[in-house]
Amino acid sequence: MKKTDTVTQKFIRKDLPDVRPGDTVKVYQTIKEKDKERTQIFEGTVIAIKHNREIGATITVRKVVDNIGVERIFPLHLPTLKKIEIVRRSKVRRAKLYFLRHVSGKKAKLKRKKRVRKSETGSGNSKDEEKPAAAIPTAAVQTPEEQPEEKEKLEEATD
C-alpha cells in the first residue's frame, strides 16, 4: 500500500452505485448560497467515466436544455454530492459516448436495456426465475370458504 493510499482512503465513498456509460442518472448536489443550503438535481446521460473508482474518479453527465447541450463533470468522491440515482439503463457499445455531442433527434436516442429479473434465493442464471411459493405469506390470503361471514352468506345462497 502506498503512502498516498493511506491518506486518501478515508475520503473514498463506499455508497456509490454502479454507474456506467449510457445510464440516465440524477445527481443530487448540495450548494451553499450565503447562509442557505439547497440541493440541486442534475439529470442527464452519463457519457464518460474516468479513473474508475480511485479518489480522482469523475463522471461526465450530459443533458439538452432548449436545444443547447449542457455537460457537467462530477468528481465521484466530492463531499457535496448527496447521492447518485440511476433512473434508466441503456444498451451501449462504447466506453465514451462523445458522439452524442454531434447528433440530435432520433440518432441521439439510446436503446433501453432489458431488465433481468433475479430471485433472491435462486442462482440468478435464469431470466424468468421467480420467487418460490413459500415466500408468499398464506395467512394473509383467505378464500371465501375460510372467512366466517362469507361462509354464512354462501350457505344462505345455496338454501
Q: Please give the pLDDT value at position 38.
A: 95
Residue 78 lies in a domain: yes
Measured from the Cβ of residue 50, the count of other Cβ atoms closer than 10 Å reads 15
Of the chain, the percentage scoring pLDDT greater than 70 comes to 72
Q: CA–CA separation, 159 vs 125, rounded Å? A: 54
Q: Which of the pair, 137 or 104, is modelled with greater confidence?
A: 104
Residue 146 lies in a domain: no
Residue 141 lies in a domain: no
Q: Structural domain of residue 107, as residue ranges? A: 3-112
| pLDDT of 9 over the 60 cut | yes
Q: CA–CA separation, 77 vs 44, rounded Å? A: 19
| pLDDT of 131 over the 60 cut | no
Give start and end residues of each alpha helix (H) in the chain.
3-8, 148-158
Q: CA–CA separation, 64 vs 74, rounded Å? A: 17
Q: What's 9's domain CATH number?
A: 2.30.30.790
Residue 147 lies in a domain: no
52-101 tens-digit pLDDT: 878 999 999 999 999 899 999 999 999 999 999 999 999 999 999 999 99
38-61 tens-digit pLDDT: 999 999 999 999 998 789 999 999
Amino acid at 27: V
Q: CA–CA separation, 117 vs 78, rounded Å? A: 33
| pLDDT of 139 over the 60 cut | no
Cell numbers describing residue 55: 479518489
